[in-house]
A and B are shown apart, each in its own frame.
With several copies, the nearest count.
Chain A
C-alpha cells in the first residue's frame, strides 16, 4: 500500500479565550502550578484575575512566593492559599509569617527535585529515585530504596488541576516560547496540569512560530490569553 501523497491538510484548533472565562474554570480547592522564578516568567495577570475571582483553599506549587505585594503574594494576602509546595520563600516575609503561624502549610523541595517532580507528572510517570537530600530534613517521611547497593529516595510525581503559565509568544493553538530566564518552571508546568492556561505577551496566528523554535508544543495547552498590557509587576525590580 502506498502512502497517500497529498492527503488533505488539517488545521489546528484555536484555543484563545478571554481571561475571565479561562480563570473561571478553576474551582475552589484546586491545585495550581504557577510558573516563574522571581519576577521573570511569573503570570502576574492570570494571578490578578484569580485574586479577583477569589477561588479558595488553593494548593499552590511554585518555585518561590514572589516578594511582598507581587505575584502570588496577592493570593496569600487574600487568604486563598492553604498549602504551598515550593523551594524557597525567603524573599516574602508574609509567606514566612503565615507558615510560622500555621495558617498555610508549606512543603519544601530541593529546587531541582521540584522541577523533576513536576516534569515527572507531565511525563506521565509515577515517581523517580534520587539520592538528593538523602542526609537532610527533606528526606523525612520519604520511602528509601536500595538500588544497585546505593540508597535512594522515592520522589513522587506532581500533577495539578491547573497550570498558570507566562509565555513570551503563543500561537492560537498554544505553541509557546519563553524568553531568557523567564523560561524556568513554565515549560515543565505547562505539561503537568489537566487545565493549562497561558498568558502570552505576543499572540501569533498559526505559523507564527517556526516548528523548531517551539518550547512547549500546543497539544499540552488548553487556553491562550493575550496580555493587553504589561503591568508594573513585570518591570525590573528597583532595589
Chain B
C-alpha cells in the first residue's frame, strides 16, 4: 500500500469515537480497524449478521461458518451476537448504525454517492451498499482522490448511477480530508506533502478553503 493510502486509513480511524456501532465497507475501509488501539470501545457490524467483529483469521484457523460481508473469515469477541439478514438491516435502517465507511466511484458536491454500477461495464448488484449509504447516521467515504486515469472522483454532479443522494458527510482521500457542507465541498485537512493547488487540480468541483493554517495528516 502506498504511504499516502496508509496515512489516509490511519486518519480515517480517528473518525471512530468511543461507543460507536460501525460498518466498514469492503476494501480500504476494512483496514481502518487496524489503526484502532486494542481494547477500543467500538462495535463493528457486518451486514451478513454479526455485531462485535473480532480479528480476521487466516484460512487455516478460520471457522467455515463465520465470514464478514466481504467474505473474509472473521472471529467473535466477548459480547458478539449473530442475527439474520432482516435484523441486520433493521439495525441499519432504524438508525442504530452510527457510522459507515464506504468506497466511491464518484461523490457529488451535494453528497450524492455513486459506488455500485458502471453501465455496460460493471453491474454486479448493490448488495447492502444502498442501505448503508442511505441510513447510517454518518457516512464517510475512503477513496483515492482521482481514478486510475487521473480524473477527479469529486464532482459537481455524479455521472454514474447513484447509490444514495445527499448521504456523504466526509471524504478521506490520499490528498485531503474534505467535508460535504450545505455549500458544497470544503477542505479540512491536507495529506502530508499535498499542496492546496494539487487538491484543487484533482477536484472536479468548487472547493472551499479554510481560513488560517490547514491541519496536515
From residue A79, how far is it (CB to closest CB) to chain B in Å? 21
B101 to A: closest C-beta gap in Å: 14
A:109-152 near B, CB below 8 Å: 110-116, 118-119, 121-125, 130-138
What residues on B are CB-neighbors of A186 within 8 Å? 84
B155 within 8 A of A: no
B43 partner, pick from A10, A130, A187, beta carbons under 8 A: A10
Q: How far is the CA of A4 from the CA of B65 in the complex (A)?
A: 19
As a 0/1 sequence over residues 93 to 122 of chain B, the CB contacts with chain A under 8 angstroms (1 = contact) are 111110000000000000010000100000
Are the C-beta atoms of B83 and A138 separated by less than 8 Å? no
Q: Quote the shortest CB–CB distance from B5 to chain A (angstroms).
A: 9
A108 contact from B67, B76, B125, Cβ within 8 A: B125
By size class, the interface of chain A is: 35 or more
B21 (CB) vs chain A CBs: closest residue: A219
Kindly list chain A residues whose C-beta atoms are within 8 Å of the C-beta of B80.
211
Indicate whether B34 reaches chain A with its CB closer than 8 angstroms: yes
For A235, the chain B residues whose CB sits under 8 A away are 64
Q: Judge whether A102 is part of the interface by a CB distance below 8 angstroms.
A: no
Question: Given the known A-B contacts A10-B41, A124-B135, are A217 and B51 also in contact in the complex, defined by CB atoms under 8 Å?
Answer: yes
Q: Which residues on B sit within 8 Å (CB–CB) of A188?
A: 84-86
- Chain A neighbourhood of B135, CB < 8 A: 124, 132
Residue in B69, B78, B90, B131 whose CB lies within 8 Å of A191:
B90
Chain B residues with CB under 8 Å of A8's CB are 33-34, 36-40, 55
User: In the complex, A183 Cα to B83 Cα: how many Å?
Assistant: 7
Check A211 against B127 for contact (C-beta < 8 Å). no
Cα–Cα distance between A81 and B87 once the two chains are bound (Å): 29
Q: Does B130 contact A (CB under 8 A)?
A: yes
As a 0/1 sequence over residues 22 to 47 of chain B, the CB contacts with chain A under 8 angstroms (1 = contact) are: 00000110110110111111111111
Assembly CA distance A111 to B88 (angstroms): 10
Chain B residues closer than 8 Å to A6, beta-carbon distance:
55-56
* Chain B interface size, under 10 / 10 to 19 / 20 to 34 / 35 or more: 35 or more
Given the known inter-chain contacts A5-B56, A217-B51, A236-B73, please indicate yes or no for A180 contacting B82, CB distance below 8 A: yes
Which of A175, A180, A181 has the most C-beta atoms of chain B within 10 angstroms of its own C-beta?
A181
Answer yes or no: B66 CB below 8 A from chain A CBs. yes
Q: Which of B138-146, B160-168, B182-190 participates in binding chain A? A: B160-168
CB distance from A203 to the nearest CB of B (A): 13
Counting CB contacts under 8 A, is B10 at the interface? no
Contact assessment for B163 and A184 in the assembled complex, using a CB-CB cutoff below 8 Å: no
A138: B residues at CB distance < 8 A? 126, 130
Inter-subunit contact B43/A191 (CB<8 Å): no
Q: Which residues of A contact B127 (CB under 8 A)?
A: 87-88, 90, 111
Nearest chain A CB to B49's CB is how many angstroms away? 5
Residue of B33, B34, B41, B125 with most partner-chain A CB within 10 A: B125
A100 nearest CB across to chain B (Å): 9
Q: Chain A residue with minimal CB distance to B92? A: A112
Q: Do residues A185 and B125 form an inter-chain contact, with CB atoms below 8 A?
A: no
Stretch at the interface among A20-28, A32-40, A51-59: A32-40
Cross-chain contact B85 with A217 (CB below 8 angstroms)? no
What's the nearest-Cβ distance from chain A to residue B103, in Å?
Answer: 12
Bound-state Cα–Cα, A41 to B65, Å:
7
Knowing that A124-B90, A182-B65 touch, tell me 8 more A-B residue pairs with CB under 8 angstroms: A7-B33, A88-B127, A106-B125, A124-B93, A181-B46, A181-B67, A211-B76, A218-B43
Which A positions have Cβ atoms within 8 angstroms of B?
1, 3-13, 37-41, 63, 86-91, 96, 106, 108, 110-116, 118-119, 121-125, 130-138, 159, 168, 171-173, 175, 178-188, 191-192, 194, 205-207, 209, 211-212, 214-215, 217-220, 234-239
> 5 A-B Cβ contacts within 8 A?
A5-B57, A10-B42, A13-B18, A115-B89, A136-B161
What are the 4 closest A-B residue pairs judged by CB atoms, nearest first?
A112-B89, A124-B93, A90-B124, A207-B78
